[in-house]
Amino acid sequence: MTEQRLTHLDAHGHAHMVDVSEKDVTTREARAEAYIHMLPETLAMIADGRHPKGDVLAVARIAGIQAAKRCSDLIPLCHPLMLSKVTVELTPEPELQRLRIETLCKLNGRTGVEMEALSAATIAALTLYDMCKAVDRGMVIEGVRLLEKIGGRSGHWTLKEGNA
């Protein structure tokens, strides 16, 4: 494995925002996922639209999209990006007592969108927790990870089982 230096540190070890002005504008895309485990009754309530707070999935989807758009406000040294697409898919997996969250972020730009996709997945999961904690405080958020990134100097990367 080739040694890589951390791009957010200068030669003296001080944190700084990476200068991307000389990078080529390319189409960049990233997909991420997260899971939230819950009681079967909680999952059924969400999936059937019977939650007292309303359409929990719609609120979580909007929260995830908003998180991707606001990523640079949340994570120091992230560049503000003009995202062209953000999707948040929420899939009940009753056999595993969980909801799967998959996000996609896309743009034409000089820097990647991995952090935006990861932020979207995480905030969607946190929103689900917040909206459902009154009925299920034992929910567990886990498995937040990057699935794929496309574009830029490093090209196409896909998560392979075993490197997570």
Question: Catalytic amino acids?
Answer: 130
Task: For residue 51, count other CB atoms closer than 10 A to its CB.
Answer: 18
Token digits for 38?
């819950």
Q: Is the sign of the CA dihedral 68, 73, 76, 82 positive or negative? A: positive
In the chain, the amino acid numbered 37 is: H
Three-state secondary-structure class, residue 59: helix
CA distance 41 to 102: 22
In the chain, the amino acid numbered 40 is: P
In the chain, the amino acid numbered 17 is: M
CA distance 116 to 65: 9
Q: Which residues pair with 105 in a beta bridge?
A: 30, 86
Quote the DSSP letter at residue 65: H
